[in-house]
Structure 1
Amino acid sequence: MKALQLHPDVVFLDVEMPKMNGMEAAKALMELKKTPLIVFATAYPQFAAEAFRYEAVDYLLKPYDENQLRETVLRIEKHFLQPAELESGKQTGKLAVEGDGEIFYLDPKDILYISREEKYSKIVTIAREYETRIPLKDLETRLTAYSFFRIHKSYIVNLDYITRLTPWFNGAYQLEIEGRNEMLSVSRNYVKALRSKLEL
């Protein structure tokens, strides 16, 4: 396989390929001294669970849309930014949020979801809610290494707290967050990618 000789940083694989299928290729890539980031790009949703056993960064389903590709690029960028952040001492594992004249350090694992309001972003955690001027897009980028996913232009959610997904109308869905008596809207453009991440 030519990719083995090129020592790439990122490899996009399809499940069905000439000579070697995507899973075989991923297994071979995992044996390299420097393992590249692996992204599966395929029309077969049933292989998602197997793909993540090879530590795939993402699993794109054809036909791709702009939102899916943007999410994937953000994840790839985050992987390459992390070493530099660690060297500079900036990577603490906490999300710094300024509000009410204070700086709060939030554990990403405690964040349920984040919504975009009129003039601020609202961060909803297990314990309380925070308001910040940080744009939702910037928060999404900072949290790329964690289990967060954009479901709507106004929401990103922690996948670990999703308990139910319900069809709504015009292809859109609503989802329920653990411990919250409310439903969040999922735009139809994000439904397929969301389900591929949630379902085995």
Structure 2
Amino acid sequence: MKCLIVDDNPLARLALKKMLGGVADLILIGECENAMAAYNLLQKEPADVLFLDVEMPGMSGLDLLKSLDYQPQVVLITSKKDYAADGFDLEVVDYIVKPVEMPRLLKAVQRARDRWIQAGGSGQEGTGSTIFIRVNNQLLSVRYEDILQVQALGDYVVFVTADKKYPVHLTMKVVEERLPADRFLRVHRSHIVAVDKITNLEQNSLLIDDQVVPVSEGYKKALMERLNIF
């Protein structure tokens, strides 16, 4: 998810940037010291999630939300509780009162992630077709349509495409929650597959791009319901 930090306090921006830097699927597209700068940046590169202060010189954070022509996921971060009702009237994801603590921030990030996924991985047309995978301290863009399957391998999961494999330090539970359910399905405790890439199905296995993937009894019913079988 692409995120933007908007706060007129430079120390608050720095602290938030450090905390968010450890979240694997967040891509920081920038940080702004006022709402107008954020508005201008968002016209060029819409963000999926805003971490937004309310009281800023000139335009307030709430005014910024009212001015946007699309609905990002918004976490309001402010020193006062007074704006909670106004924030939730604007359908913000969460409201955090400073100082920000890491567990509370991670809870807000998860709420934003859940709502972003429910919305189809997109706050506007043209996004949500790719994910960013952190490999060797680099963020690599991978299109959903290129992913054949995801396989558990010890403490890692491996995103498998037709020509590459991307090992990532994640759990299958996290991957299953974050991948769009209309594209991917878990068929085994160690395998998640792209449903539209299945080319053959046998009793306890399926075939994807000449790769044999086991199918567990516990996941078979859901698989059969997803496939158009005549």
TM value normalised by structure 1 = 0.51
Structure 1 partner of 2:221 = 192
Structure 2 vs 1, CA of residues 98 and 82 (structure 1 numbering), >3 Å: closer, same or farther?
A: same
Structure 2 vs 1, CA of residues 185 and 83 (structure 1 numbering), >3 Å: closer, same or farther?
A: closer
- Unaligned ranges ≥5, structure 1: 1-76, 168-172
Q: Give the secondary-structure state (helix, strand or coil) at the position aligned to 2:199.
A: strand
In structure 2, how many angstroms separate the alpha carbons of the residues matched to 1:148 and 1:158? 5
Using the TM superposition, give the Cα deviation of residue 100 of structure 1 relative to its aligned residue in structure 2, in angstroms.
Answer: 2.0
Structure 2 vs 1, CA of residues 101 and 145 (structure 1 numbering), >3 Å: closer, same or farther?
A: same
* Identical counterparts, % of pairs: 27
Structure 2 partner of 1:126 = 162
- Aligned letter for 1:95? I
1:45-194 equivalences under 5 Å are: 81-82=118-119, 86=123, 92-167=128-203, 173-178=204-209, 180=210, 182-194=211-223
Q: Give the secondary-structure state (helix, strand or coil) at the position aligned to 1:189.
A: helix
Using the TM superposition, give the Cα deviation of residue 121 of structure 1 relative to its aligned residue in structure 2, in angstroms.
Answer: 0.5
- Aligned letter for 1:160? D
Kept in 1, the 8 Å contact 2:155–2:171? The answer is no
- Unaligned ranges ≥5, structure 2: 1-113
Q: CA RMSD in A?
A: 2.5
Name the count of aligned residue pairs.
115
Using the TM superposition, give the Cα deviation of residue 124 of structure 1 relative to its aligned residue in structure 2, in angstroms.
Answer: 0.2
Kept in 1, the 8 Å contact 2:133–2:140? The answer is yes
Does 1 or 2 have the higher relative contact order (CA < 8 Å, sep 6+)? 1
In structure 2, how many angstroms separate the alpha carbons of the residues matched to 1:127 and 1:84? 25
Using the TM superposition, give the Cα deviation of residue 166 of structure 1 relative to its aligned residue in structure 2, in angstroms.
Answer: 1.3
- Aligned letter for 2:206? L
In structure 2, how many angstroms separate the alpha carbons of the residues matched to 1:134 and 1:116? 9
Structure 2 vs 1, CA of residues 82 and 94 (structure 1 numbering), >3 Å: closer, same or farther?
A: same
Kept in 2, the 8 Å contact 1:96–1:105? The answer is yes
- Structure number with greater Rg is 2
In structure 2, how many angstroms separate the alpha carbons of the residues matched to 1:84 and 1:185? 28
TM value normalised by structure 2 = 0.45
Structure 2 vs 1, CA of residues 78 and 112 (structure 1 numbering), >3 Å: closer, same or farther?
A: farther
